Structure 1
Amino acid sequence: MSKMENIENQSRELLSKQLVGEASDREKVELEAWLEQSEENRAEWEQSKKMLSKIDSFYQEKRFDTDAAWKNVHAQFVPTKGTVVSFQKKRKEGIATFYKYAAILVVALLLGTVGYYIGFRNQVPAVYSEVISGENQVLQQYVLPDGSVVALNSNSKLTFPKKFRDNVREVSIEGEAFFDVKPNPDQPFVINAGETQVKVLGTSFSVSAYPGQETVEVIVETGKVQVISKSTEKQTEATEVFLIPGEKGTFFNQNKTLEKSVNADPNFLSWKTHDLIFNKVPLSEVVRCLEKTYHIRVDLAEPALNELLYEGHFDQKPADFVLDVIRLTFNLELIGENEHYTLTSRKNDQ
């Protein structure tokens, strides 16, 4: 069963308990939080109440006279008075218990819940939340329940529980994020990113794990981070690396290998900071960085432009300003429309 299916079943388990009057005060609070997450959740809750109401109406119409039936049985056995009282009491308790759990079972089946039965009734289901950044949108700061702060690059999704467990703070990321984790030695912070897992106690670092991307990358800014490969392949290769500031861990999705190296990219956080540093790098690399930072498209019209070496530093400057400086530096022409720019050699250049 997938993680999201498990979350869905746990939420429906809360519905089942509430509908049959089995929910605790804490579970009622968790149900309220789940209902607030989306219109779909509230619609499912209303539909469930309607289904249970129909079941109850059907039972009321079709039920038979249990007292009359019991008198029939009693007349045949004619036990002693004491025995009758004891047996009747057990019968009534048995019928009450039977219908109680029969109702729970019917509701659970109607809702598609396969994980609920009496043996699990003391488990506390986790209520999960998602934070999603849209296309060309950067979420600069989101505070998690433990006080840790996360920034999300565009097209990214962070999944986390409303309340972290006592022994671990565990989240999942699809896309790119920068984490500033609040220190807590007794409660490690764990990030699931593709086929890797990142463990920390308190530090700041970036994780890039877009679906379909060739690699998962972790770059440490402060503290110490452990990156673990969850793949069962390539067991002869390293399955974990420890990173300190300035180091990068790279997991290659195709061959399932994990490597540690020195981070050579000063702009790995430019999507968040808009602080760009170029130390005589090819113009093609400059363009790649600008596209990621500003969510624009930049074309170099001639292949020769890719090899031009550029050096410069831009802090909190808009894309138009940066591109205009590059244009002037190499005496190029710049054409721009709807966040799509083209750099080309001057046609009248002698």
Structure 2
Amino acid sequence: MYKELDIKLLVSYLSGNSTENEVRDVEAWINLSNDNRTLFNEFKQIWEVSASNNSIESVDLDARWDDLKSRLNFGGDVKVSKRSTVETFFIVSSGIAAFIALVISLWVVIPTPNKVNDVIITESSFSTGSSYILPDGSKSFLNVGSEIIYPNHFSSDIRRVEFTGEAYFDIAHDPNHPFLIESGNVRVKVLGTSFNLTNNPDSDEITIFLETGKVLFYSVDKESNNILDQVILLPGEKGVYNKVDGSISKFNFSSNNYLAWKTGTLNFVNAPLEDVISTIENTFQIDVKSKFSLENFHLTARYQNETSESILQSLKVIYGFDYVVDGNNVTIKK
């Protein structure tokens, strides 16, 4: 049975404009019943499909929400009454035993006039990540809780996007139109390459792992846009921006565990257990603390599509320690 939810809260949630309390309210509503989750998934699918659609008609926001609830298992066309295009939008398509109706509020999707052509894609907290094709053919695979903002068409000399969270990018090669990712006051400039970029709000670092090609990884002054620090990265190199002191460093890397959130594979060869724990934290977005030193322990193991719980259980069997889980916090003890 459905429990009523203000549609504006849902739209704000999908566009990443909710407060912490609103996020909790929406997710509590989603988890309240299977009906609510089905309804949300339908609406989310509509939202994502609409992001790249250009033939948009206006529709009454609240009416479409009520219609969506009543027609989740109904096939057929949907008639729409037109209103002012500054208010809300929708796209309709029909098929066997299903329909898709969308409502998007401009004040949520387009916060300022200079972003009229922007598209916002946000991954929800319970999603497993999604792949998106950008207007130039570049591919981005977003981890949960991530956001990318880009125009419907790259019209200038620079292919520019804004990003926060974690994503794997495979950039289409175009030497005449460099690809520029803005993430906070850090910039990644490429012509055509593939890499993993991470900028989480609760982390003191922004990191990039370069797989192919070459990138310019640099920071700028937000006021003047002048370059403050920069490094050129080659395949097999990792760039790290320190948000505290503003420094940029680069290191070599050989493990592909940084992609475990995307591939589901964790591979350790005589790895220090402290590094293993750090990888588990980054992969599963949890915080692990140990009440004793782990510096003398090493691990050789391969995990495929395992949960954090199953990995911790295996470590418990191997090393004989115990652990306590409290939400996203894990404490290792003897």
- Indicate the TM-score class for this superposition, using the shorter chain for normalisation: 0.5 to 0.7
> Structure 1 297/255 Cα, relative in aligned 2: closer, same or farther at 3 Å?
closer
Structure 2 letter corresponding to 1:159: I
> Structure 1 236/47 Cα, relative in aligned 2: closer, same or farther at 3 Å?
closer
Secondary structure of the structure 2 residue equivalent to 1:205 = strand
Decide which structure has greater strand share: 2
1:319 aligned to which of 293, 297, 308: 308
1:271 aligned to which of 236, 239, 261: 261
Structure 1 letter corresponding to 2:311: V
Match of 2:279 in 1: 289
Secondary structure of the structure 2 residue equivalent to 1:292 = helix
Match of 1:103 in 2: none
Measure the CA separation in 2 of the matches of 1:273 and 1:220: 16
Match of 2:238 in 1: 248
> Structure 1 293/39 Cα, relative in aligned 2: closer, same or farther at 3 Å?
farther
* Maintained 8 Å contact 1:34/1:127: no
Match of 1:143 in 2: 133
Unaligned runs of 5+ in 2: 1-51, 65-82, 88-110
Match of 1:62 in 2: none
Measure the CA separation in 2 of the matches of 1:190 and 1:138: 26
Q: Which has the larger radius of gyration?
A: 1
Q: Deviations over 1:309-342 (max 9, x none)?
A: 2222223334344233222211334666877765
Match of 1:329 in 2: 318
Secondary structure of the structure 1 residue equivalent to 2:278 = helix
Matched, 1:170 2:136: no
Match of 2:145 in 1: 155
Match of 1:8 in 2: none
Deviation of 1:278 (Å): 2.2
* Maintained 8 Å contact 1:194/1:216: no
- Identity %, equivalent residues: 27
Match of 1:6 in 2: none
Q: Number of matched residues?
A: 241
2:252 aligned to which of 243, 262, 269: 262
Decide which structure has greater helix share: 1
> Structure 1 252/295 Cα, relative in aligned 2: closer, same or farther at 3 Å?
closer
Deviation of 1:343 (Å): 4.6
Structure 2 letter corresponding to 1:293: T
Measure the CA separation in 2 of the matches of 1:303 and 1:312: 22
Unaligned runs of 5+ in 1: 1-28, 50-112, 116-123, 346-350
> Structure 1 214/340 Cα, relative in aligned 2: closer, same or farther at 3 Å?
closer
Match of 1:206 in 2: 196
Match of 1:227 in 2: 217
Residue pairs, 1:96-107, within 5 angstroms: none
Matched, 1:196 2:186: yes
Q: Deviations over 1:30-77 (max 9, x none)?
A: 9865969x959x9xx74969xxxxxxxxxxxxxxxxxxxxxxxxxxxx
